[in-house]
Amino acid sequence: MAQIRTEGAYSPISEPSPWWLRGMAIFMTIMGLFYLFNAVMMALVPIFSSGFMEMEWEEIEGYPEDGTEEEKEEWEEGKAAWEDMQDYMGEMMEMLRPITLHNGLLAIMGFASAVLLWTNREAGIKSVGAWIAVNLTGGVWMMWKMSEIGFTPIDDYGPEAGGTAIPDLVNQISLFMGVGQMVVCNGILLALLFLVASKSKPETSFDIPSGFR
C-alpha cells in the first residue's frame, strides 16, 4: 500500500540574515548621534553669539567727531549695515529653535528605531519610515522658512548693482537645491528601507500539497 504524506500549504523555507536589520539599526544609531550632536551645537549657538548680538556699532568704530562729511556718511552707512546684520542674525537665531527641536526629535526617533530594528522587525521598519517622513517634511519646512528670511544677509545691492535681483536669485536657487537635496537623500533612505524590509522578510512557500508520493 502506498504511503500518504501531506504538507502544510504555508511552511517556512529559510530564515533571512539578521544583519539586514542589525545593519540598519547601526546606521540609525549613527544618524541619531549625528542629529544629537547637531541639536547640542544649535542650542549652544545663541549662547556663544550673545556678545556679538548685543554689540553696538560705536564699540566697533567710534563716531568721527572731527572727521569730514564723507567720513561721517561712511560711518552712518556702516552703522546701518551693522544694524541690518544684527536684525538678520536675530531672525536666524529665532529659526534655530525649531531647527534644534527638529534635530532633537530626529535623534530620539533614530535611537528608538535602532532598538526596535534589533528587537522587532515590523515596528522597527515602521519607525524608520516615520523617521524619514519627519526628516523630509521638517527639512522642507525649514528650507521654506529660511527662504523667507533670506539665505544671504544682504537683500538689496542698490540700483547700480541690480537691486534685489541677485539676492532673490540666490534665495530661489538655494531653496530649489535645498529641497531637491532633501528629496533625493530621503528618497535614497526610503529605497534602502524597502531593500532591508524585503531582504529581512521570512521566505515562505504557498505550494499546494502534492497528495500521494
CB 43 within 8 A of CB 100: yes
Q: Which residue has the higher pLDDT, 88 or 198?
A: 198
Would residue 213 count as lying in a domain? no
Would residue 41 count as lying in a domain? yes
Would residue 113 count as lying in a domain? yes
What pLDDT score does 5 carry?
42
What pLDDT score does 207 carry?
41
Rounded average pLDDT over 105-119:
96
By residue range, what is the domain housing residue 71? 14-201
Would residue 1 count as lying in a domain? no
pLDDT at 86 over 50: yes
Would residue 209 count as lying in a domain? no
37-72: pLDDT as tens digits: 999 999 998 888 777 777 888 877 888 887 788 888
Q: What are the Cα distances from residue 155, in Å, to 139, 150, 178, 202?
A: 23, 7, 19, 57
Please give the model's pTM, rounded to 2 decimal places: 0.79
**Structural domain count of the chain:** 1
Contacts of 117 (CB under 8 A, 6+ apart): 21, 22, 24, 25, 28, 124, 125, 127, 128
Would residue 210 count as lying in a domain? no
| Chain centre distance of CA 108 | 14
Would residue 163 count as lying in a domain? yes
pLDDT at 209 over 90: no
What percentage of the chain reaches a pLDDT higher than 70? 84
Q: Which residue has the higher pLDDT, 157 or 42?
A: 42
Beta bridge partners of 205: 11
Would residue 87 count as lying in a domain? yes
114 band by pLDDT with thresholds 50, 70 and 90: very high
